[in-house]
Amino acid sequence: MQPTATVLVYSDNAITREQVRTAAGRRPAADLPPVEYVECATMPAVLTILDKGGVDACVFDGEAAPVGGMGLCRQIKDEIFNSPPVLLLMGRPQDAWLATWSRAEAAVTLPVDPVDFPQALATLLRARLAVEA
């Protein structure tokens, strides 16, 4: 059986979660293993999944409510040892400073771009999977 990479997608918006899955597809880059998505609509669900381990990268919606992805990202960076890399979805390019504050490894703007998004996700997965190897 071929190994898979696990990507946690957090957004309170089902359409945003679907855009993430559609843009990156089953394999965001040819040199990566297939991706399995775990979707979460609430912060407690994200923390439960991360506590179990096995997540290779996270995609957090910075526009999610009531807990935004930027604050959640900062929280996991403070609380979870060796937390997975986070790709933030930002509402505006001007929010890049908040992405830096949150300690996310990468950020892209909404709506999810079918070229930029998979490239950013692939970069995070390559780095994480290389460290785990």
Mean pLDDT of 28-50: 97
Contact between 68 and 40 (Cβ < 8 Å): no
Q: Is the peptide bond before 111 cis (omega within 30 degrees of 0)?
A: yes
Express each pLDDT in 54-71 by its tens digit: 999 999 999 999 999 999
Query: The whole model's pTM is what?
Result: 0.95
Dihedral of CA 83/85/91/94: which sign? positive
CATH architecture of 5-132: 3-Layer(aba) Sandwich (3.40)
Separation of alpha carbons 21 and 123, rounded Å: 16
Q: Which residues contact 41 (CB under 8 A, 6 or more apart)?
A: 10, 11, 12, 14, 17
* CA dihedral (29, 33, 36, 37) positive or negative: negative
